[in-house]
Amino acid sequence: MRGLYYDGAWQEPISNDTIEVENPFTRQIIQTVIAASEDDVDRAVKSAKAAFPEWKNTPIDQRIDLIKRLTLRLEARRDDFARIIRDELGCGKDLALNTQFLSYIKGMFTYMEEAKKIELAEDHVSYTVLKEPVGVVGCLTPWNYPFGQIIQKIIPAVIMGNTVVLKPSQKTPLSAIELFKEIDQVGFPPGVFNLTTGRGSEVGNVLATHPDVQMITFTGSTEGGKEIARLASQGIKRVILELGGKSAAVILEGADLNLASKRILFTVCSNVGQTCSAQTRVLYPEGLRDKLIKALERQAKEFPFATPDNHDTRVGVLSSKKQQERVAGYVDQALNDGAELVIGQPPKDQAGYYSELMVLSGVSNSDTIAQEEVFGPVIVLIPYQTEAQALELANDSIYGLSGAVYGPAEQAIEFAKGMDTGQIFINDGSGSGAPFGGYKQSGYGREGGKYGLLEFVELKTIFTP
């Protein structure tokens, strides 16, 4: 049993408390991990603090070289990590390997390349601006991307000269433990990377208030982010928050409905809707309802969901009984409020946490299911009469994390400029290394590429005669 790593070695916990990890496909307990105590966390933070002065002064080229060694080790074990992610999260095989793992390995290479381009000392006429590491960074990661969200936090932080204490989700800590097994073999100075598995309300809160932690980066629910921000404010810590979303997919007149449906379903189905950037609000021109539903039905055949008799499918299962009940509750409420279920049925209690795609019509943008994050494979269809109304509806949300516009390219780009959203996809557009983060209650700060690296530096100005 592992879960506590500091001073460059696996450690025995002070507490005997443990956490059981469940396989969502079978509901079987597959492993037990350490539930770190406050004293365990304190020791991990002290380890990170002690390592910081040396690591801060290690040339960035040497830091990048060590990260590259780690990246190559991880890449060589792709199948092992994909299996672990699949077992603890309940996702499909393709998603586990390509989206949950390999896309973030690619991101590690991007971080390294972008770091080489950053000018750490900018000389101006009468002053120099230095980019210096912040210090000890507490990294709090969610269960829905158990490997990738760790990479998005610890890798840019460490490349830029910070030391880290990671607290992965208690639901999916196995990827983190396996990752630290590889970190342990690379040769990083003791204390650069530290791991504490445990409960968020305990470990996370300790990190957020610890006087020797200078920065917190958190991904999770908006309510959780509010609490972390409140706790961190007591010590005026720097905070990055990547929170919830209720992303709008706006279909314009002239859009390719098959393309739009395919892209929308990819964001909603791939991780069984358990993605903060899933395009779950679909705004469409009034009069296209039937054509849109037919297009969604056609494209849905490309996203078969797991069943009790078949786990070897593109789409897996929901992560837990709590998630299954949450999704069913939202859908039942919407149906009671007058919505129509045009595709799929609500999830039922079975041997595993199975679900299927659900598409609801007859929904108003003010309805609960259109405003709150369901975190399941549920799409609501909302008609509009004019583009001005569509823009108003798209922005009528407390969230602003992601979105999409489908239609003639130039028209779609102009529409996107009016959306209060951190990232917007036009038709099938995509790219790596771009900044990811939200507006409004979707959080603040950015992850990815150059922008993710620069979140982990302080600016120091030295005036010269």
Mean pLDDT score, 231-256: 98
In angstroms, the first-to-last Cα distance of the chain is 59
3-class SS of residue 200:
helix
Vertex 166 angle, CA 165 and 169, to 5° = 155
| 118 compared with 201, residue with greater pLDDT | 118
How far, CA to CA in Å, does 56 sit from each of 49, 153, 159, 404? 11, 17, 10, 40
Question: What is the rounded radius of gyration, in angstroms, for the C-alpha atoms of the chain?
Answer: 22
DSSP code at position 290: H
Where does the pLDDT of residue 352 fall: very low under 50, low under 70, confident under 90, or very high at 90 and above?
confident
Integer Cα distance of 135 and 152 in angstroms: 17
Domain 4-243+442-463 part of CATH 3.40.605.10: yes
Chain segment 395-423, per-residue pLDDT in tens: 999 999 999 999 999 999 999 999 999 99
What percent of the chain clears pLDDT 70, i.e. is strictly above it?
A: 100
The answer to whether residue 42 scores a pLDDT higher than 80 is: yes
What class, spelled out in words, does domain 248-431 have in CATH? alpha beta
- Residue 332 confidence (pLDDT): 96
Burial 422-445 (b: 16+ CB within 10 A, else e): bbbbbbeeeeebebbbbbbbbbbb
Distance of CA 370 to the CA centre of its chain: 21
State residue 376 phi and psi, 5-degree precision. -155, 175
Q: Which residue among 88, 202, 276, 455 is the active-site one?
A: 276
- List the one residue out of 185, 168, 165, 153 whose CA is nearest residue 52: 165
Q: Which amino acid is at 173?
A: P
Angle, to 10 degrees, between the axis of helix 174-186 and the axis of helix 78-89? Answer: 150
Chain segment 97-137, per-residue pLDDT in tens: 999 999 999 999 999 999 999 999 999 999 999 999 999 99
The answer to whether residue 437 scores a pLDDT higher than 80 is: yes
273: left (phi over 0), alpha (psi -120 to 50) or beta: left
Residue spans in the chain of domains classed CATH 3.40.605.10: 4-243+442-463
Q: Does the annotation mark 269 as catalytic?
A: no
Integer Cα distance of 418 and 395 in angstroms: 9
- List the one residue out of 303, 305, 304, 292 whose CA is nearest residue 259: 292
Tokens 């950015």 label which residue?
Answer: 446
- Residue 40 confidence (pLDDT): 97
Residue spans in the chain of domains classed CATH 3.40.309.10: 248-431
Q: Which residue among 114, 242, 373, 447 is the active-site one?
A: 242
Q: Which amino acid is at 43?
A: R
Q: Does the annotation mark 242 as catalytic?
A: yes
Chain segment 129-174, per-residue pLDDT in tens: 999 999 999 999 999 999 999 999 999 999 999 999 999 999 999 9
At 128, list the tokens: 């120099």
